[in-house]
Structure 1
């Protein structure tokens, strides 16, 4: 029975490739060039409630057999900034959308916008999946696009790329509940005692010595899955940043620290970000840094959280390849790093038809830095805050459980209720 279903899935993929004229038959170039082979990739796709949705088969080119500089000189992997689409597919799709009157965003090339009178339609593309913002205009959009592609309407957005969407009268909640539970199940810790913190305070993982972990591929896979989970879980950012530094040669101690993160997830798999519908369209940001984040390189760690109204929409933890001589300089560089994201978001808002003429409040808990960073262009307005109110602390250091809970509440992170 399974074999028949996979054969049906493969035939469906072939039919789609032929219908969309994805390939051209051509001769190999001279000089003994070899054709790149292909392979079938099989995957079971599940609904957010864990039930089987479909059998999915993909015919993919084995680009890993190519060598940069020998077989190709450029790479192309366009995805929605979330911060891969085959080049030919995306070229055809973007051409079709532009012919329908859509304009491609310079801030995010996967975002297309259409404005016709009172109609404002935004389409976000991720490989061959679409998110469209206007249900009333979607029927006409589907009719037009169906002339070029075979499409399936999945209805109101509930589950997209592992992210579950729950609607309420006050706004949207984004969560990766099922994805989190899959991680816990994969490691075999569904029955484990939850941890109150994602990573130990005063951890010395950079200096730890001991035996090497005998399955580094498993370590890399688990940390990689956690990286994707930070899309809706800012509380994981710092721990994931630390653990991702040992991907090359993890030790047993690093694996044990990763399992602690899984046990922390066990205690809070339903946490998600709440995006309020009544928020003002005014942005604000918080930035922070850790002066001695990496004792080996002396590079500092910087992080930011950006809000739209009362809702967090962007956050990141990153080690900067810079050695600074003072905490004020570190904080100033962290502020400059945050400013890049602010400028990008402001331009993106303009693409979405939201003007933001007033300066964006940028909060920092270093008094000296707020004086140094006077902004005469009025793009930002620096604001000094106390360390206890610095929500970006969550992304730069290991904190006690009580502080994590308080900052998560301030961020607007709460437990997610699955849609019915």
Structure 2
């Protein structure tokens, strides 16, 4: 049966509760589950219909390295990083402690244009793929991606600084500890009017299943807001959509969510908008988002919770931070 939440995922569940999960990406397939006999039968069935090759236990998939131990599973792209550093002649560079200087503000007219923008575009494209296992690169890569059409020397310097940071931690990735996990939570944040070019805010969020980080995002908002509360509330709407999607796919995979999902926000005004029945003059143009979140709060699907800015995990997805916060 194909999942409704993710059309690349297929599930076969037996009457005794055992299941097989099959994930497809173009011509690459991952098969997993607790039905060992069923997995062997699925492989034989695929071999009858397609020319396939069994590569054994998952170790390398789409340039993502998978390592297992009794403690859990780790995901990294060490070989991909080293190849990138070698191709750019940055293996011998001086390592950097952070991906981007917090005081650096890039703009569309900073210094002269690059003579060949294709070099910049290829490098940024390779860095985008690294965000699959390195969430700390998500914000800085989203920033440099905004200048793909007309990159300048300052933008290329920022890319080289990211490569210097990769030199210091080529094997950095994600670790998922063994043991039971439960409960969805999402940290959301917005960098109010952070873009110096158009004064748009940046939305950042990261979601956890138990203690495991499972999704993250950094994206500039399309509308300029007049208050930080409205920018944070728009970020809350995007975090709510992510939680709804994750609840749906986890339910199809057999992980039933009990209780409300927690939505952590460091703006008390935005949290009040989620529960207050009064609409204010300055919030009318986000009225759809207001009613959307309030409906989910009333139905018990999400529970907005205030978190101090010092404990805001999503901060790293809205601005460049120092090494102590990475």
Which residue does the alignment assign to 1:282?
A: 183
Corresponding residue for residue 321 of structure 2: 399
Write the distance in 1 (CA, Å) between the matches of 2:124 and 2:82.
Answer: 15
Matched residue, 2:14: 116
Trace 1:320-339 onto structure 2 (pairs within 5 A): 320-339=221-240
Quickly say closer, same or farther: Cα 1:373–1:279, change in 2 above 3 A: farther
Distance in 1 (CA, whole Å) between partners of 2:229 and 2:134 is 29
What TM-score, normalized by structure 1, do the two folds share?
A: 0.70
**In the aligned structure 1, how far is the partner of 2:170 from the partner of 2:191?**
28
Unaligned stretches of 5+ residues in structure 1? 1-102, 405-420
Paired with 2:109 and 2:103, the residues of 1 have a C-alpha distance of 12
Distance in 2 (CA, whole Å) between partners of 1:184 and 1:271 is 15
Deviation for aligned residue 1:147: 1.8
Distance 1:258 1:367 in 2: 36
CA distance in 2, matches of 1:289, 1:364: 9
Aligned length: 302
Query: Secondary structure in 2 aligned to 1:370?
Result: helix
Asked if 1 retains the 8 angstrom alpha-carbon contact of 2:183 and 2:209, the reply is yes
Quote the RMSD (CA, aligned, Å): 1.2
Match of 2:292 in 1: none
Greater RCO structure (CA 8 Å; 6+ sep): 2
Q: Secondary structure, in 3 states, of the residue corresponding to 1:104?
A: coil
Distance 1:373 1:280 in 2: 28
Work out whether 1:154 is the aligned partner of 2:55: yes
Post-superposition Cα deviations, 1:60-107, rounded to whole Å, max 9, x if no partner, equal: xxxxxxxxxxxxxxxxxxxxxxxxxxxxxxxxxxxxxxxxxxx11111
Choose 1 or 2 for highest CA Rg: 1
Q: 168, 171, 180: which one pairs with 2:81? A: 180
**Alpha-carbon shift at residue 395 of structure 1 (Å):** 0.7
> Equivalent of 1:373, from 264, 274, 284?
274
CA distance in 2, matches of 1:145, 1:201: 51
Q: Where do residues 301-380 of structure 1 align in structure 2 (5 Å cutoff)?
A: 301-374=202-275, 375-380=297-302
Higher helix share: 2
Paired residues of 2:266 and 2:308 also in contact (CA < 8 A): yes
Alpha-carbon offset, residue 243 of structure 1: 0.4
Match of 2:106 among 205, 214, 226: 205
Q: Secondary structure at the match of 1:259?
A: helix
Contact 1:208–1:253 (CA<8 Å) still a contact in 2?
no
The separation in 2 between residues aligned to 1:279 and 1:269, in whole angstroms, is 29
Structure 2 unaligned regions, length at least 5? 276-296
